[in-house]
Amino acid sequence: MKTSDKILQMLKTQGELTAKVIATELGLTTMGVRQHLQSLEDSNDVVIEDRKAVRGRPTRYWSLTPKSNSHFSDRHEELTVQLIDSVTTVFGEQGLEQLIAHREAASLKLYQAALAAEVGLAAKLAALAKLRSDEGYMAVIEQVDGVYWLLENHCPICAAASACLNFCRSELKLFQALLVGEASVSREEHIIEGARRCAYKIDPINGQTNAI
């Protein structure tokens, strides 16, 4: 993987970073990383923000622009939106709802089968994150103060979700159904609403917490 691609991956999964942090993680010089960042800025893939420091010069942070999404999986966005429009035109809103419900049911069945052999909430969430990452969501699980977080750093169906918000509603319902009786699930951050990622708070029922 090229250095510029590694930098894009870091910014996608970790959010805004300084050149020094990126250099340390990649084992490169700060000057070398700045050269790559400058190239990415020239191509409009990243932007900078200078923040006032307590002492000395402002600290420069780098973050991704919407254009950078072209470097990640897009699931044929244009065709997807066209199909959604066609379904609505031919079958109406009810037909689209039936399509979304069918996708939700099929995904639930697939996920349930994949998690069936996992014991405990932590193991199930780790398996779920792998499934979602395999689908292009760049998902990770974090645990903070007894609460789990499913963090999805990319949305491979973003175009479809933007065209029909019920796709997002369906995904939240899917997670809630998958973990019913084990945890409550709520979405706290949402890419469609302008957040960097989608973040699902997974609060265990009866304190079922184990290390990931």
Where do the CATH 1.10.10.10 domains begin and end in the chain?
3-71
The pLDDT, as a whole number, for residue 74 is 58
CATH class of 3-71: mainly alpha
The pLDDT, as a whole number, for residue 159 is 65
Residues 59-75: pLDDT tens digits?
A: 999 999 988 988 886 55
Note the pTM of the prediction, 2 decimals: 0.68
The residues, any chain, with a CB within 8 Å of residue 63's CB and separated by 6 or more, are 11, 15, 16, 17, 46, 47, 49, 196
Percentage of the chain with pLDDT > 70? Answer: 91
The pLDDT, as a whole number, for residue 97 is 84
* Cα-based angle 125, 131, 132 (whole degrees, multiple of 5): 90
Residue 60's H or E segment, with its range, is strand 59-64
CATH class of 77-207: alpha beta
Where do the CATH 3.30.1380 domains begin and end in the chain?
77-207
Distance CA 172, CA 176 (A): 6
